[in-house]
Amino acid sequence: MNSFNTIWANGRGNLATWLLWGLAAVFVVYTFASGGYLIAVLQFALIYTVLVTGLNIFMGFTGQVSFGHNAFAAIGGYSSAVLTATYGWEPLPAGLVGLAGALLCALVIGYPVLRLRGHYLAMATLAIGLIVYEVAVQWQSVTQGYMGISGIAPIGIGRFTITSDRGLLVFLMIAAALALLSAAGIRRSRLGRAFVAAAGSEDAARALGIDVARYKLIAFMISAAYAAIAGSLFAHAVGFVSPEVFGLPMVVMSFTMLYVGGIGTIAGPALGAIIISVLPESFRTFKDYQDLAYGAALIVILIYAPRGLASLPELWARWRRRSA
C-alpha cells in the first residue's frame, strides 16, 4: 500500500506528478541562477524535507502518530548550537552528539509511549514536544532561554567550511536527496515491509511473526534521527536557534508539508516542503498570517484531499465524471 510504486507511478497520476516535478526542477534551477532571497527559502525547504521525511517514515509507513518530533529537532539543533557556539566544537561531532542524544531520548521515551494508541499516543507525544520546549525556555544557563543562541558557525569540516549561499544550497540538496533515497531504501527493505505491515493491521503483522512493538520503536527512533539531523542543519544554516523555532507551529507546518506532498509516498515530503515554503514567500506581505495559513490549509487538505497532491489525479477524475 501507499508505496512509491502504487501512488507515484500509477498510470493516470503520471502527467500531473511529472508536471509538478518539472515545476520543482525549474524552480530549483531558477533559484540557483538568480540567487538572493529565494536561496534562503529553498534552503529552508530542503531542511524541512529531511524532517518531514523522518515524520513520514513513522506516520506514513508505520501508521503511527507523533505530535512531538519538534522535540528531537530541538535536541539536534540545540546540541549543535551549544557545542559549536559555546564550546567551540566542530560541527560534525556536535551534530553526532545531538543525533545520539535524540536517539537515546527516542528509545527511552518511545519504549513506554508507543504502547499507547489513538488519542493517548497523540497527547503523550504532544506533551513530549512541549516539555522539550519548556526545557529550552527554562534551562537558561545552557540555552539562554527565549533569547536563543546566535552566532553559530557555518557547516564544515576542519578548515573547509561552506560559507557561500550557493555552496550551502548544494550541500542541503545532497542532504535532502540522501534523506529521500534512504527513506526509499528503508521502504523497500525488510524493515520497511514490516513497518507497512504494522500500519495495515497490527494483529495480522503479529500473526506473520513481526514483533510490532519493536518495529514501531525502530521507526520512532529512525524518524527521531531524521528530525535531529534537520535540527542540526537548521542551526548551522540559519546560525540561530531559539525555543520558538522548535515550537508547536513547527509541528503543524511539518504536518502540512507531509499532507500536501502526500503522506506515505517517498517524494511527497520534498514536494510538500518546497510548496509550503515557497507559497508564503510569494505573499510576503502576509508574513503575520503564515501559521494561520498553514493551519487553514491543513484543515482544507485533510477534508478535501486527504492524500495530498498524490490524490489530485483521483479528485480530477471524480470531478470530470461529475461534470460529464
Residue ranges in contact with other proteins by CB under 8 A: 65, 67, 112, 115-116, 118-120, 122-124, 126-127, 130-131, 134, 138, 248-249, 252, 255, 288-289, 291-292, 294-296, 298-299, 302-303, 306
At position 227, the amino acid (one-letter code) is: A
Q: What is the dihedral of CA 317, 322, 323, 324, to 10 degrees?
A: 80
- The answer to whether 75 touches 98, Cβ cutoff 8 Å, is yes
- Residue whose CB is less far from other proteins, 31 or 66: 66
Q: How far is the CB of 213 from other proteins (least distance, A)?
A: 14
Please say which residue, 19 or 296, places its beta carbon nearer to other proteins. 296
Nine-digit cell string for 255: 504536518
**Residue placing its CB nearer to other proteins in the complex, 19 or 204:** 204
CB of 212 to other proteins, least distance (A): 17
Q: Of the two residues 124 and 267, which places its CB atom closer to other proteins in the complex?
A: 124
Q: Reduce the DSSP state of residue 240 to 3 states and report it.
A: strand
Closest CB to other proteins among residues 30, 289: 289
Query: Residue 260 in contact with residue 277, Cβ under 8 Å?
Result: no
Shortest spacing between CB 163 and other proteins, in angstroms: 36
Q: How far is the CB of 103 from other proteins (least distance, A)?
A: 20
Minimum CB separation from other proteins for residue 274, in Å? 21
In the block, cell 529512525 appears at 222
Residue 134 or residue 211: which is nearer to other proteins going by CB? Answer: 134
- Element holding 273 (H helix, E strand): helix 268-282
Bridging pattern class, strands 156-157 and 149-150: unpaired
From CA 294, how far away is CA 255, in angstroms rounded? Answer: 9
Nearest to 270 by CA among 283, 246, 281, 254: 254
Chain centroid to CA 91: 21
Name which of 185, 183, 207, 208 is nearest 263 in CA terms: 183
Report, in Å, the least distance between residue 108 CB and other proteins. 12
